[in-house]
Amino acid sequence: MAKRRLAIFVATVCVVVWTLSFLVGDARAQQPACAAGSAILLGAASSVCGVGANRPGVVAYKGIAYATAGRWQSPQPAPWPPAGALEAVQFGPICPQDDPPQRAAEDCLYLNVWTPENAINGGRSLPVMLFIHGGAFVRGLGSLSLYDGSAFAARGAVVVTFNYRLGALGFLSANALGSGEIGGNFGLRDQQAAMAWVQRNIAPFGGDPKRVTLFGESAGAMSVGLHTFDMPSSGPLFAAALMQSNPLGIQYLTPPEAGRRGATFLRALCDAVNASAGASRCPGDPAWAAKAPVAAILKAQTDATGRLERSIGLADLRLSALIERILEVQSLPWAPVIDGKLVVGEPYAGYAPDVRPFKPIAFGVNADEGPLFVARAYPRAPWDFTSWAYRGFLALRFGLRAGAILGTPRYSPDALVSPRYYSAAGAAYANLMTDYVFACGNLSAVNAALAQSSEPAFGYRFAQPPFTDLYGRPPDTVTDFGACAPSEAKPNVCHGAELPYVFDTLDAVATANDRPRALDRTLAEAMNAAWFAFAENPAAPGKPWLAYDGDGKVLEWSGDGVGAADLDGPASCSALWLHALPYRGAAVGSRR
């Protein structure tokens, strides 16, 4: 069997994480003309101007092309400086994805900059915060109001967000059906292109290219982890890394695995392009895949997953078929590939041998990462996620350790009650996911990094109960079945819940009935200040950050104030999960 993976998480992350893009508004609103005093002079006949932002004294420059790329080709730098006067007043198109919340096009490699007005034209040299959005590598955009960089810029940072190619357009790896070899990892190369643009061009905006902090959430944090630990060519492009809710327990595809999935996708694409002819007609033109309409590519992405499910007998209710479906099919269908060239290893094992320089690192997780994904995955199956299915999954995934897992009340259906949004087995699996995939995966990576490097690390746990449900509200394309609702007796602090606090954009997710409380606004200001402090001096960001020394102790954020939390003990990391695969094979210091 190919490399085993957790599944209900990765199956649903493709549907769930991107939901935030529907909840925080559409950035297509009419933009004003350039703001007075916003012009940045780039040469005798070249300039760029922007618009006023959401904080006084901050200017936003939107829709700047940082690269161009043909389909399934590496990105090339876009012309810069611009010829003449560029009015950067409106966000560029986002990358193709299902049901895009903003205008989408294959020409989508655009970035956005927020900066203090008094920093432009070399007025200051400020830390740069370069954010990578999440979305399971199939959805997302850098122009969400949730990611507005105004609050950071008002503190004295230059903030950059950007789009990168997604889905099959960003991560297809294949050599089949006459298409020629398609190498994959194009989305990661786009990210590198944005990072390189910042190195070359951020100074006139007031940014210091030697002080770039790369940060991201979910798939964005996965990307940050790869750039930090396993992409040698990314090393010179940033100075520090901050990962929010990186699911480090998820392993990336190998080239053979990615190739098999790519071949399945190309067959689905062939049918989508020429439904009446059958698969054998498409390879007649060696460039047929490169000419396929975007709509056909998006359809084929969905169809390919269905074909994989059918190939293992989804209708077969035997335990073996269910486990096969969980472990093999329901992983991230479009994600980075460990190709041995661009990506050389797994981040949970720390720094790969050729990755330099080492970086100051900050990392963190939310108190309840798992419930959202299990709530979404559970109703999708034609049967309940029963105790026997959960026990079978544990036996196949963890072998002899299954008994110890079931003997821990936090992971035992017999010791838990059924929430209204899934079974007791689902509750156990949600806890397992929170701990094994998120908390312990982060500890594995950072513990290994600390054994290899003298650079510091800082950790956090976000535990603030929500004031609004980021997922279970209109437009009801995705719902959490109440798993992340603030009305629960013990509300879950779900995946993504920290984002409006980090960016101090609480009003972007508020509703008429669910408004931020005073404690939410206080917490958002404190977290935004702490993220800025890390970017300003990542080696010594000061209080409230706590230096992590491998003991599992991290900073805890909540409306009750900052405190300390133990990620290790309650999550059974040292007691259980760090002795299980894949972490067991990533002994601390093994990469020295």
| Catalytically annotated residues | 218
* Helix runs in 435-544, H state only: 440-452, 499-502, 518-536
Report the alpha-carbon distance of residue 553 to residue 457 in Å, rounded.
11
Strands 158-162 and 173-175: unpaired
Report the alpha-carbon distance of residue 427 to residue 419 in Å, rounded.
7
Look up residue 314 and give its DSSP letter: T
> Please, which residues have CB within 8 angstroms of residue 119's CB and are 6 or more apart in sequence?
126, 158, 205, 206, 207
Q: Is 302 helix (H, G, I), strand (E, B) or coil?
A: helix
Residue type, 358: F
Question: How big is the CA angle at 573 (ends 419 and 447), to the nearest 5 degrees?
Answer: 135
Structure tokens at 259: 């190739």
Report the alpha-carbon distance of residue 320 to residue 335 in Å, rounded.
26
Report the alpha-carbon distance of residue 344 to residue 337 in Å, rounded.
9
Nearest to 171 by CA among 145, 202, 135: 135
Report the alpha-carbon distance of residue 393 to residue 176 in Å, rounded.
33
Nearest to 135 by CA among 228, 58, 216, 191: 216
Report the alpha-carbon distance of residue 359 to residue 363 in Å, rounded.
12
- Residue 422 and residue 1 in contact, taking contact as beta carbons nearer than 8 Å: no
Report the alpha-carbon distance of residue 259 to residue 254 in Å, rounded.
8
CB atoms within 10 A of CB 366: 25
CB atoms within 10 A of CB 262: 26
Report the alpha-carbon distance of residue 192 to residue 267 in Å, rounded.
30
Length of the chain: 592
Structure tokens at 423: 């079974």
φ, ψ for residue 316 (rounded to 5)? -75, 115
CA distances from 184 to 187, 261, 342 (A): 8, 12, 10
Q: What is the 3-state secondary structure (H, E, C) of 575-592?
A: CCHHHCCCHHHCCCCCCC
- Residue 505 and residue 143 in contact, taking contact as beta carbons nearer than 8 Å: no
Paired residues of 132 in beta bridges: 216
Look up residue 197 and give its DSSP letter: H
Report the alpha-carbon distance of residue 290 to residue 268 in Å, rounded.
14
CB atoms within 10 A of CB 562: 18
- Residue 234 and residue 358 in contact, taking contact as beta carbons nearer than 8 Å: no
